[in-house]
């Protein structure tokens, strides 16, 4: 796990509330796919500092369960939201055994799945915990965007990429998996999901006022992928 989500968790929380990539691109694109959550039971995988959990509370979700591998992130969620949400420190690569079968209306995961080598097992577990007709909505790096970092030059080969990000105002090393669109969609359809939407999102125009160059880049290049999949069978 990158220090971005442990040592720098507090700084990360501050930055993503207003930055372009999270607040003006990922968040509006994800919430557009998530839709109405009033009265629903929601699991947030890789919840980070609870930005989405706060949104689900504001939108009157019935029950919110926040899961993250980083104890520092879960501490932030607990300090902000307390008993309004359930929290678990879990590496989701090890499974979701603490979460009950057929218990969730929505499983949401913003910008987390690219940290997992095995997407197939995650989809099987998400399918298990969702109620029939429940939805798995996630965002991840766009397969084409990450292809620029490919060492192999083989788009179809899954690769562990090492990169340096300036999200918290200083360079931090991050490792994540680059995988093809086929690998993402097959993990879903092999595990009882029907894909109901795939988008490449849209950056808000107000991003221009922060950085015209980034706004122009995100308006003209795919960077994240947004997927909504519906549980059709176990
Ligand atoms: C880019 S952050 C996104 C946080 C939050 N979803 C948001 O959009 O504000 C990715 C989060 O995934 C968590 N994460 C990474 N690998 C994980 C794993 N294997 N199991 C659970 N959480 C993980 C990190 O600790 C971090 O909080």
Query: Which atom of ligand 1 is found nearest the CA of 16?
Result: 9
* 146 contact partners, CB below 8 Å, separation of at least 6: 114, 161, 176, 178
What are the extents of the domains in the chain? Answer: 3-142+180-231
Res 1: pLDDT? 74
Cα 98 to Cα 182: distance, rounded to the nearest angstrom: 30
Assess whether the C-beta atom of 117 lies below 6 angstroms from ligand 1. Answer: no
How many Cα atoms sit within 13 Å of 154 on the Cβ side?
Answer: 6
Segment 186-201 shows an average pLDDT of: 98
Protein residue whose Cα sits closest to atom 11 of ligand 1 = 46
If you measure from the C-alpha of residue 3 to the centroid of ligand 1, how many angstroms do you get, rounded to a whole number? 12
Assess whether the C-beta atom of 212 lies below 6 angstroms from ligand 1. Answer: no
Diameter of the chain measured on Cα atoms: 48
If you measure from the C-alpha of residue 156 to the centroid of ligand 1, how many angstroms do you get, rounded to a whole number? 24
Candidate from 10, 48, 91 with most ligand 1 atoms within 8 A of CB, to mutate: 48
Taking a C-beta distance cutoff of 8 angstroms, is the pair 200, 171 a contact?
Answer: no
Candidate from 2, 5, 87, 108 with most ligand 1 atoms within 8 A of CB, to mutate: 5
Res 150: pLDDT? 83
If you measure from the C-alpha of residue 73 to the centroid of ligand 1, how many angstroms do you get, rounded to a whole number? 9
Q: How confident is the model at residue 200 (pLDDT cuts 50, 70, 90)?
A: very high
If you measure from the C-alpha of residue 201 to the centroid of ligand 1, how many angstroms do you get, rounded to a whole number? 19
Res 148: pLDDT? 76
Structural fold of domain 3-142+180-231: Rossmann fold (3.40.50)
pLDDT tens column, 81-96: 999 999 999 999 999 9
How many Cα atoms sit within 13 Å of 20 on the Cβ side?
Answer: 21
The pTM for the full model equals 0.96
């Amino acid at each position: 796990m990158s220090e971005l989500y442990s040592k720098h968790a507090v700084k990360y929380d501050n930055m993503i509330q207003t930055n372009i990539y999270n607040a003006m691109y990922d968040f509006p694109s994800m919430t557009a796919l998530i839709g109405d959550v009033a009265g629903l039971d929601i699991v947030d995988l890789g919840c980070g500092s609870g930005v989405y959990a706060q949104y689900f509370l504001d939108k009157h979700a019935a029950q919110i369960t926040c899961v993250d591998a980083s104890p520092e992130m879960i501490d932030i969620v607990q300090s902000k939201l307390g008993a309004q949400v359930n929290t678990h420190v879990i590496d989701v690569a090890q499974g979701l055994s603490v979460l009950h079968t057929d218990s969730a209306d929505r499983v949401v995961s913003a910008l987390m799945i690219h940290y997992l080598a095995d997407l197939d097992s995650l989809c099987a577990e998400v399918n298990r915990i969702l109620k029939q007709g429940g939805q798995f909505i996630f965002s991840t790096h766009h397969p084409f965007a990450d292809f620029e970092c490919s060492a192999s030059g083989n788009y179809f080969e899954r690769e562990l990429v090492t990169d340096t990000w300036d999200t918290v105002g200083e360079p931090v090393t991050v490792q994540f998996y680059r995988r093809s669109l086929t690998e993402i969609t097959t993990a879903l359809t092999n595990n009882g999901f029907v894909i109901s939407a795939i988008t490449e999102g849209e950056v808000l125009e107000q991003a221009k006022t922060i950085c015209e160059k980034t706004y122009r880049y995100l308006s003209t290049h795919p960077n994240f992928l947004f997927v909504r999949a519906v549980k059709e069978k176990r």
